[in-house]
């Protein structure tokens, strides 16, 4: 009964991830054509890739491909969480610095 629950949950997660990938195809095409992506689109792709890694590690653990792989999903989740937090903090620091430079030097006239 436990395996049936895991497999149905795994199947539904896989279906949602595949459908989400189809919805993201226009953004991925723009990425491969080297067009400029908006910050929001970059975040969406980053989150999708993180979910894809988590799903792959979950499948790896369910299929018991290697011994001890059950901890992989937790490790990847923590890694992705830390990367997102540090990226947000870094973005906030750089945004604060750029806002400061515009405020400090924006009103000066060119000599």
List the pLDDT tens digit at each of the 111 positions of the chain: 445 556 677 788 889 999 999 999 999 999 899 888 887 888 888 888 888 888 887 887 777 777 666 677 777 778 878 877 777 777 665 555 454 445 455 555 555
Provide the pLDDT for residue 46: 82
Tell me, letter by letter, the H, E, C secondary structure of 45-94: HHHHHHHHHHHHHHHHHHCCCCCCHHHHHHHHHHHHHHHHHHHHHHHHHH
């Amino acid at each position: 009964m436990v395996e049936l629950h895991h497999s149905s949950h795994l199947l539904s997660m896989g279906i949602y991830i595949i459908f989400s990938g189809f919805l993201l195809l226009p953004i991925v095409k723009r990425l491969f054509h080297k067009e400029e992506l908006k910050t929001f689109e970059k975040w969406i792709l980053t989150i999708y890739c993180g979910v894809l890694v988590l799903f792959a590690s979950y499948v790896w653990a369910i299929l018991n491909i290697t011994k001890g792989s059950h901890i992989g999903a937790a490790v990847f989740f923590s890694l992705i969480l830390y990367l997102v937090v540090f990226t947000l903090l870094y973005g906030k620091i750089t945004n604060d610095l750029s806002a400061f430079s515009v405020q400090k030097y924006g009103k000066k006239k060119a000599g």
